Amino acid sequence: MSTSQTLEVPGYQVVQYLGSGARSTIWQIRDSQSNELFSLKRVVKRSLADVRYLDQAVNEYEVASRLDHDNIRRVIGIRKIKHWLALREVHLIMEFCEGATIQDEPPRSVLQVAEIFSQVAGAMAYMNSRGYVHADMKPNNVVVAPSGQVKLIDLGQSCPIGTVKQRIQGTPDFIAPEQVHRGPLDGRTDVFNFGATLYWALTGKPIVTALPKKGMLMVDMVVQQPQDINPNVPIPFAKLVMDCIEIRPSRRPTSMGDVSARLALILHALRKLRKEAISHKSLATSHEARNDEGEKVAKAEPDAKVADS
C-alpha cells in the first residue's frame, strides 16, 4: 500500500489514508490553493482482471458529473494515468464526506432508520429522474455525517435506465433478481436494492436473494416480516419494505419517487409519536414533582404545629 509520501496528486497535498475498497484505496487530500479537503479514490490495474475496476471508476465520474443533489457525493474531477498508452491508474477527486457508513455505525432506532432512508430515497428518486439506476444500494454505500446529513456514494455500477449488463453485478445480500438474471435494469431495481438495505437496517439481518449463500437451508430462505424480528417496526413501515423486495418488478412500487412519498408519511407519523411520547413523559415527570412537593409539605406541617405549641 502506498503512503502519503509516495502518492503524489498534482495540485493537492495528501493528508492521510482513509481505507480501501475493491481494488481501490481512499485518501484524504487538501487542495493546495483553496485548502479545501477532498477524498481521492485511487484505482490501480495490477492484472488484466482489474480492467473492470478502472472502467467502474471512469463510469462513476461520468455518471456523477451529470448529477447535482445534496444527498449524492459529488465527484469533482478525474485523473487518468497511462503507461505505454495503456490506462494503468485512475484517480477520482471526490467530495469529502465526514461521518461513517451505516454498515459501520448502524441506526439505533426505527425513527433514525426512517430519517436516514428518507434522504436516501430522495437521492435515488433524483437519480432515476435523471435517467440512471444506482444499481448497488447497500449499507456500505450510505454515509451519515454527525449533523445527520446523508450521502449516497459509489456510483461505479450505476447505469442508464434500461441497461442489460453483460455480467452479474451487485452485492449478494441486496441484489435484485433481474440483476442476477441479467435483465433490463430500471427504477424498480433500485427499489429492490433499497428495500433489501432497509430490511437489514430495521432487523439487523439480510434477506435471501437470488444469490443465496452456500449451505443455506430451505427454512432459512423464507423472508420473515420485519415486525416479527423487530417489534418496534410499525406495520406500514414493514409493508413498505416487503413491497420493495417483491421478486417480480411489476409487484414493487413503480418508482423510488413512490417509495419516497410513502416513507415521508411514515417518517411524519414516527416523529409525531415521538413528540407525543416526550410530551407524556414530561407531563408525568411534572406530576411526580408536584406529588413529591406535596408529600414534603404534608410531612413538614406536624413539625410546624409542634413548634407553635
* Model pLDDT for residues 115-157, shown as the tens digit of each residue: 999 999 999 999 999 999 999 999 999 999 999 999 999 999 9
Q: For 263-282, what is each residue's pLDDT tens digit?
A: 999 999 999 998 888 877 76
Do 69 and 16 reside in the same domain of the chain? Answer: yes
Instruction: Read off the pLDDT band of 7 (50, 70, 90).
Output: confident
Do 125 and 258 reside in the same domain of the chain? Answer: yes
Query: Domain span at residue 141?
Result: 100-269
| Domain finish residue from 60, 95, 130 | 95
Residue 19 cell numbers, joined: 481505507
Is position 307 within any domain? no
Is position 275 within any domain? no
Do 110 and 237 reside in the same domain of the chain? Answer: yes
- Phi, psi (5° rounding) for residue 151? -125, 130
Is position 292 within any domain? no
Do 104 and 198 reside in the same domain of the chain? Answer: yes
Mean pLDDT, the chain, integer: 89
Q: SS3 of 151, please?
A: strand
| Domain finish residue from 59, 76, 95 | 95
Q: What is the pLDDT of residue 303?
A: 56
Is position 278 within any domain? no
Is position 308 within any domain? no
| Domain finish residue from 71, 95, 119 | 95
Question: How far are the Cα atoms of 45, 149, 161 from residue 254, in angstroms, in the given order?
Answer: 39, 26, 14
Q: What is the pLDDT of residue 217?
A: 45
Instruction: Read off the pLDDT band of 21 (50, 70, 90).
Output: confident
Do 213 and 143 reside in the same domain of the chain? Answer: yes
CATH, residue 203: 1.10.510.10
Q: How many domains does the chain have?
A: 2
Q: For 70-109, what is each residue's pLDDT tens digit?
A: 999 999 999 999 988 889 999 999 999 999 999 999 999 9
Asked whether residue 241 carries a pLDDT value surpassing 90, the answer given is: yes
Residue 301 cell numbers, joined: 406541617
CATH, residue 27: 3.30.200.20
Do 122 and 233 reside in the same domain of the chain? Answer: yes
Alpha carbon distance 94, 182 (integer Å): 30
Is position 300 within any domain? no
Is position 35 within any domain? yes
Do 123 and 158 reside in the same domain of the chain? Answer: yes
Do 117 and 193 reside in the same domain of the chain? Answer: yes
Q: What is the pLDDT of residue 293?
A: 64
Do 133 and 251 reside in the same domain of the chain? Answer: yes
Do 72 and 107 reside in the same domain of the chain? Answer: no
Q: Which residue has the cell 439506476?
A: 133
Q: Taking the CB of residue 49, how many other CB atoms lie within 10 A of it? A: 9
Burial of 234 (0-12, 13-18, 19+ CB in 10 A): middle
Do 53 and 161 reside in the same domain of the chain? Answer: no
Is position 302 within any domain? no
Do 175 and 26 reside in the same domain of the chain? Answer: no
Cβ neighbors of 240 (< 8 A, separation 6 or more) are: 195, 198, 253, 259, 262, 263, 266
